[in-house]
Amino acid sequence: MATLQQFQTLKKLSEVNVSIKELFEQEPDRLNRFVMREGPLRADFSKQALSSEALSALLKMAAKCDLEEWRAKLFAGESVNSSEDRAVLHMALRGVGGSKEVQKQVSEMRRHMADYADKIRSEGKFKNIVHIGIGGSDLGPRLVADGFEACAEQSLTLRFAENVDGASINDAVNGLDPTETLVIIVSKSFGTQETKMNGASARAWLKEGIGELASDHMLAVTANRNGAVDFGVREENIFDFWDWVGGRYSVWSAVGLSLQLAYGPDVFSEFLDGAAAMDMHFRDQPLQENLPVMMALVGIWNRNILDYSSLAVIPYSRRIRKLAAFLQQLEMESNGKRITRNGKEAGLTCPIIWGDEGTNGQHAFFQWLHQGPSAGKYGGAPVDFIAVLKDHESRPEHHRALLANCFAQSEALMLGKSEDFVRQELGKRDDLEELAPQKSFPGNRPSTTITLDELSPFALGELIALYEHKVFVQGVIWNVNSFDQWGVELGKVLATTILDEMSSGHSGQHDASTTALMDLVKP
């Protein structure tokens, strides 16, 4: 993990009062060092408030944190999830890393998924899929389904039910014919309350429409085969999910079966290939030429050195508008920890991840990004801009305007608009003293711009894997376990207790506020 002394050295480098604009002037080769490409993905970190000298210091810190050794352990299948004594092998789902036995299991599952998808698609019996899951069993497939829409033909209607709110399952099945609908229940444990309740409602809906044939229309993706069988899913309709795959890293597994059914095995295979390309880049490239390492170190600089508490993720592509929501789970559930691997206080770890699609965000929260205060050194929040260079919608004028807005916002955040310039612009007027400060922008607000040549399944796979490996690198530097999530458990346990008490009408011991809330809904 990074030491206090290393962070203090970096803090001193951050005290040099040089703007991002001045860094471009002082470092003629800045683009060469701060822009990296892997396949169709290009990342430009040059608009970060980070000098080449500071980047060198960050790389030295990463090396002293034994990052290369941790990376080797990850790909070798060693137990990097120390609190649960598990390997972390989602890369093996893409064909990278893992033992021969793991690769055999993955190969068999991929073949089983592809054969099943081809069978269902060719028979034509089913026209709709209802995918039921929550968290990683929902966010990844939703994001990817939208992304595939850009350049892949959807053969089956795909709907999702995730929330325990009855509106979720109602919206998912509304207007569908149960005789033409396949329900896929995705739960690693097959014990998640929301998923089981939505699954039970979907099962009842199927039985109402087709009677005992309902079991022919239900699949399960789980690590708990017995739980799925007890629920009523046929053994042959269960697709395995291994304990070395975390939920938020699971879209590459049988969790993506609904994607194969809707878009075809070839599209899904291309998606896996893109992630594998980023895996091999992360595994093989030296730290100073490594995209996920660079992204992680920029995040460390902004969080631990410049004291930013959040990161805005703004995709200028409607097809990946759910990226911020996906990354909220990936990053905040992985690294939202206050305790290190050895049980000590961790200090500052994962920032708040938030955002929306561009250009919508420009008409909502960009005012704050440009002029709002913050705990960070320069105000606002760092931004990850994501843009797709190819127009997939056959509306070139729209696409040029979309890209122009994306590129302009990153430049505007960096340059700002000085009060002196505003005064010259306004000229002599009675309200000059009041208005000039209001119309000035401080600038020097950091951002990264990631561009994809096109929104292909391959490029989308690379993009998601990039963020996955960024999370791992930051976890190593903060010395937190990025692959457990104990903080999720307490609320689940209490919710089960309260639900039982609300159903029975007998309240247990709670604080006065919780008891009063429960009294509002007594049967």
Annotated catalytic residues are 333, 363, 492
How many other CB atoms sit within 10 Å of the CB of residue 467?
Answer: 21
d(CA 399, CA 98): 41
Nearest to 478 by CA among 283, 335, 299: 335
Spatial contact of 386 and 145, defined as CB atoms under 8 Å apart: no
Q: Which of 221, 129, 116 is nearest to 182 (CA)?
A: 129
CA dist., res. 157 & res. 154, Å (int): 7
- The β-bridge relationship of strands 310-316 and 238-240 is unpaired
Question: In what helix (H) or strand (E) does residue 170 lie, and over which residues does it extend?
Answer: helix 166-173
Beta strands in 293-363 (DSSP E): 310-316, 352-354
What are 413's two structure tokens? 């955040």
- Are 21 and 414 spatial neighbours (Cβ–Cβ below 8 Å)? yes
In angstroms, the CA 326 to CA 335 distance is 14
SS3 content of the chain, % helix, strand, coil (to 5): 55, 10, 30
CA 507 to CA 505: how far, in whole Å? 6
Beta carbons of 348 and 303 less than 8 angstroms apart = yes
